[in-house]
Amino acid sequence: MSTETLTTDQLAARWDLSKATLARWRALKTGPAYVKLGDGPNGAIVYQIDEVKRFEKEKTIRPTRRRG
């Protein structure tokens, strides 16, 4: 398992999303797994790259061709 991490800023840039969207996903528990470093509202949030890639893979939609 890789220990490489992304900050919220880095993940937001990777996916072209706002930091607010990532915060909302954390609150709703719908986004990728994350690590909160420190207690309270000011704890730093990081995302392990393996978890980010796993989330991307789970959300990948592969179009299928209809046979005529």
**Letter for the amino acid at 19?**
K
For 5-55, how does the pLDDT look when each residue is reduced to its tens digit (9 = 90+)? 999 999 999 999 999 999 999 999 999 999 999 988 888 999 999 999 999
Separation between Cα atoms, residue 67 and residue 12, nearest integer Å: 38
Separation between Cα atoms, residue 24 and residue 66, nearest integer Å: 36
Closest residue by Cα to residue 50 from 29, 61, 35: 35
pLDDT bin (cut points 50, 70, 90) of residue 2 is: low
Q: What's this model's pTM, rounded to 2 decimal places?
A: 0.84
Question: What pLDDT, on a 0 to 100 scale, did the predictor assign at position 67?
Answer: 74
| Backbone torsions φ then ψ of 59, nearest 5 degrees | -95, 0
Question: What pLDDT, on a 0 to 100 scale, did the predictor assign at position 66?
Answer: 78
Domain ranges of the chain: 5-59
Q: What is the DSSP letter of 18?
A: -
